[in-house]
Structure 1
Amino acid sequence: MEASMERRQLEYFLAVAEHESATAAAAQLHVAQPTISVALRSLEKEFGGQLFERTSIGLALTAAGLALLEPARQVLRDFAVAQESVRDVLGLAAGHLDIVAVPAVAAGWLLEALVGFRRAYPQVGVRVYPETDDNAIAAEVRSGRYNLGLTVSSPVTGQLTSQQVGTQRLNALLPPGSSDASEPIGVDELAAMSLVTMHPSLSTSRRWLETQLNQRGTSPNIRIELGSTEGIMPLVTAGAGYALWWTPMMGSDIGECVLRPILPSLERPIIMSHRSGALSPATEAFLKIVGTDAANTTSHVTK
């Protein structure tokens, strides 16, 4: 069997694993559904076991399928690195850069970094994916699903090279017209105010605030709890309450809302990670741009 066919089979396998449906995978890849089914049967024959099983909601990975998931992603990422490296030497298209990031970092530090990167390398396509879990980001980067990961804690997953590229500070985002703009506000004062926030499993800032207030014998006055960040700004702008807001963030994002530093202060690192070993030209180009901006940061390698 030709190597290109084996690569295509792995692409089909990963698409079905993601969508839990051969039909949905075929639609995404713009191929006929029987093509997907034939490729999966061929893979199962080659590996000697079933990769998927039918459930009431679709196709689920078997133990053998789960074992194949990460190696399949790594094979496709390694192939992409090789392909882009050759094209770079030949002066052809420079490929894509896939980045997974904590939403607050993606909306702040990363946007500013991408401006410089796109200015220097306009031919490179960039795709950014949100993820709130630092451990999930590290695992996905290690598996080869993404070129780069941006977290707010150092990864414990092996085979990653990590570098601190910046810091973020926690602030209180208050409705338009609030007084004392830019003046610090204490957590005791925040305890009496209505808070718009995300579920505790999705928000490190909320968990920090709850710990601070619990030590003082009180708790946040949570009035609206969300499952994502999209609704926070409109609610604060409408006067529904305040929110916890990490900076740096693109200045125009807060509109007419008022930003005040919180006391005691909380800062967290911005950590950029990538797989150790060969990198795609697009990844190396981004690291070069970031390295210029992060000349005074400390690098470390997790083996």
Structure 2
Amino acid sequence: MERRQLEYFLAVAEHESATAAAAQLHVAQPTISVALRSLEKEFGGQLFERTSIGLALTAAGLALLEPARQVLRDFAVAQESVRDVLGLAAGHLDIVAVPAVAAGWLLEALVGFRRAYPQVGVRVYPETDDNAIAAEVRSGRYNLGLTVSSPVTGQLTSQQVGTQRLNALLPPGSSDASEPIGVDELAAMSLVTMHPSLSTSRRWLETQLNQRGTSPNIRIELGSTEGIMPLVTAGAGYALWWTPMMGSDIGECVLRPILPSLERPIIMSHRSGALSPATEAFLKIVGTDAANTTSHVTK
């Protein structure tokens, strides 16, 4: 079994197509097919089966998925460590995060990290589900995961690195900007929000109001955060807003804390065991005690 074969396998698994995988990896499609047949011969069974929409993993393919990711991740750790000692490269850092954390705490952390290690490539991926983030980090797809709850797994090292607080973002001209606003008052106001599967803040508000025998007055439900600020600015309603939030100018809108207050932890997780130099460097920058003091990333 070779590293390249596993790369081809993972690309086909992701795209459900040998043709799409070949295009992504810039190789000929027959090269992918030959590599997969070689893997299947080595394992003694099929890794993919053809369906009406493409190639799907068999039970054997599913069993190989996470180990293959971890093999490639371990290879990258070894490669980056050696290259860094030789002064050839500093590697990269893949982070998956809850969107509100990615737009707040993580941006602040990346400012300091990029200042200290400008040669390290960083890629940030959004994910709204904490359990999915934990699973992806555990599988080796990402170096670090940022969630708002502790992952339920013994295979990750996790610790709190920050806190976020929930506020109400009100249209321009709203009064009492410095005073908290109660959830009962919010129940009577029009809410601009996202689907509950995409918004932990909406789920929290619904729980609070349901306990009081009422529910949010949802007027506009969006599939992403992009339209929230313009709609609130136009007076369409209020929105739920986590702070700190970098890169988000609220303009003339009014931000008020909510009572009862909701503060949630920001939890950073990584696989237990050996870490890449770039991961160790990031942990050191954000002040966690998980960083290895013998990190070889060169500033």
If the length of structure 1 is used for normalisation, what is the TM-score?
Answer: 0.92
SS of aligned partner of 1:222: strand
SS of aligned partner of 1:168: strand
SS of aligned partner of 2:248: helix
1:30 and 2:23 equivalent?
no
Partners of 2:88 and 2:122 in 1: how far apart? 17
2:278–2:297 Cα contact (<8 Å) kept: no
Partners of 2:290 and 2:58 in 1: how far apart? 44
1:76 and 2:79 equivalent?
no
Partners of 1:300 and 1:22 in 2: how far apart? 38
1:233–1:254 Cα contact (<8 Å) kept: yes
Moved more, 6-15 or 198-207: 198-207
Partners of 2:289 and 2:72 in 1: how far apart? 31
The answer for the alignment partner of 1:108 in structure 2 is 104
1:166–1:294 Cα contact (<8 Å) kept: no
How far is the alpha carbon of 1:238 from its aligned partner?
A: 2.5
SS of aligned partner of 1:86: helix
Q: 1:293 to 1:160 in 2, by over 3 A?
A: closer
2:166–2:257 Cα contact (<8 Å) kept: yes
How far is the alpha carbon of 1:294 from its aligned partner?
A: 11
SS of aligned partner of 1:302: coil
Partners of 1:111 and 1:93 in 2: how far apart? 24
How far is the alpha carbon of 1:228 from its aligned partner?
A: 2.3
How far is the alpha carbon of 1:202 from its aligned partner?
A: 2.0
How far is the alpha carbon of 1:199 from its aligned partner?
A: 1.3
Partners of 2:155 and 2:97 in 1: how far apart? 18
2:277–2:295 Cα contact (<8 Å) kept: no
How far is the alpha carbon of 1:204 from its aligned partner?
A: 1.6
Q: 1:298 to 1:283 in 2, by over 3 A?
A: closer
CA deviation map 1:139-177 (0-9, x unaligned): 111111000000000011221111100111111111223
How far is the alpha carbon of 1:225 from its aligned partner?
A: 1.4
How far is the alpha carbon of 1:178 from its aligned partner?
A: 2.1
Any unmatched runs of 5+ in structure 1? none
2:191–2:239 Cα contact (<8 Å) kept: yes
Partners of 1:114 and 1:188 in 2: how far apart? 38
* Aligned with residue 173 of structure 1, among 162, 169, 180: 169
1:153–1:271 Cα contact (<8 Å) kept: yes
Moved more, 223-232 or 27-36: 223-232
Q: 1:149 to 1:297 in 2, by over 3 A?
A: farther
Q: 1:30 to 1:182 in 2, by over 3 A?
A: farther
Moved more, 270-279 or 220-229: 220-229
Q: 1:41 to 1:190 in 2, by over 3 A?
A: same
How far is the alpha carbon of 1:250 from its aligned partner?
A: 1.1
Moved more, 237-246 or 91-100: 237-246
Partners of 2:201 and 2:174 in 1: how far apart? 21
The answer for the alignment partner of 2:227 in structure 1 is 231
Q: 1:292 to 1:79 in 2, by over 3 A?
A: closer
Q: 1:135 to 1:299 in 2, by over 3 A?
A: farther
If the length of structure 2 is used for normalisation, what is the TM-score?
Answer: 0.94
The answer for the alignment partner of 1:265 in structure 2 is 261
Report how many aligned residue pairs link the two structures.
299
Any unmatched runs of 5+ in structure 2? none
Partners of 2:116 and 2:262 in 1: how far apart? 34
1:194–1:241 Cα contact (<8 Å) kept: yes
SS of aligned partner of 2:163: strand
1:164–1:298 Cα contact (<8 Å) kept: no
How far is the alpha carbon of 1:29 from its aligned partner?
A: 0.8
Partners of 1:258 and 1:43 in 2: how far apart? 59
1:160–1:273 Cα contact (<8 Å) kept: yes
Q: 1:60 to 1:152 in 2, by over 3 A?
A: same
How far is the alpha carbon of 1:231 from its aligned partner?
A: 2.4
Partners of 2:46 and 2:40 in 1: how far apart? 6
Moved more, 73-82 or 176-185: 176-185
SS of aligned partner of 1:60: strand
The answer for the alignment partner of 1:296 in structure 2 is 292
How far is the alpha carbon of 1:302 from its aligned partner?
A: 30
How far is the alpha carbon of 1:297 from its aligned partner?
A: 18
Partners of 1:296 and 1:254 in 2: how far apart? 39
CA deviation map 1:256-278 (0-9, x unaligned): 32211000101110000011111
Q: 1:302 to 1:27 in 2, by over 3 A?
A: closer
Partners of 1:62 and 1:302 in 2: how far apart? 43
